[in-house]
Structure 1
Amino acid sequence: MKLIYAIIHEKDAGLVIETLFEHGYTVTRMASTGGFLRLGNVTLLIGVEPDKVPAVIALLKECCTPTHPNQYAATIFVVDMPVYRKQ
């Protein structure tokens, strides 16, 4: 399993989460603050099989928009998740 941390603009969160749900992905939303995007942002945690990572990144790219010309629409980290349990 892979864990995707996606830091996105707060204004994009609703559309991103809805789109991910429509494609069968589960998402955990965490309110966050920080210097990455310098505006209100949300951190999404998305657990997926390794072969699904490109599809999730494509959905994020489709749904996220930068608020300023020199700013990123999302910051994405993909890490290994050696243990995954549903309880």
Structure 2
Amino acid sequence: MKLMVCVVQNRYRSAMEEGLKEKNYRMTELSSSGGFLKKGSTTFLIGIIEEDIENLRENMHQICYAVEKKKGKSPEESSRYTSFLIDVKDSMPFFQKSAKQ
């Protein structure tokens, strides 16, 4: 099991949330303010089995592409979102320490 941390530009946030829910992905959404990617962003935490990682990435790409197509904008491949994976077993010490405080 993996935890995908995905920071999405706000222009894709609602489409990403709706699109992933339609595909039955469960996630936690964290809104934030700041200068990451030079625009407002939202962080999604998504639990995913290893066999489904590439499918999730492809779904996310298609969701962003559909937003761009709908708005008539040229694809901005490099600034849609950034994501990384954490093995769930590696994240457990962090959560155990937080729970004790």
User: What is the TM-score normalised by the length of structure 2?
Assistant: 0.71
**Higher helix proportion, which one?**
2
CA distance in 2, matches of 1:69, 1:38: 14
- The answer for the alignment partner of 1:60 in structure 2 is 60
Unaligned runs of 5+ in 2: 93-101
SS of equivalent to 1:37 = helix
Query: Which one of the candidate residues 77, 83, 99 is aligned to 1:76?
Result: 83
Q: CA shift at 1:34, angstroms? A: 3.8
Deviations 1:26-71 (A, max 9, x none): 0110012344311010000000111111111111111226889585
The percent of aligned pairs where both chains have the same amino acid is 27
What amino acid does structure 1 have at the position aligned with 2:11? Answer: K
What amino acid does structure 1 have at the position aligned with 2:40? Answer: G
CA distance in 1, matches of 2:77, 2:58: 21
User: What is the TM-score normalised by the length of structure 1?
Assistant: 0.81
CA distance in 2, matches of 1:3, 1:64: 21
Q: How does 1:15-34 map to 2 (within 5 A)?
A: 15-34=15-34
CA RMSD between the two structures: 2.2
What amino acid does structure 2 have at the position aligned with 1:32? Answer: S
CA contact (8 A) 2:7 2:82 kept: yes
Q: How many residues align?
A: 83
CA distance in 1, matches of 2:86, 2:52: 13
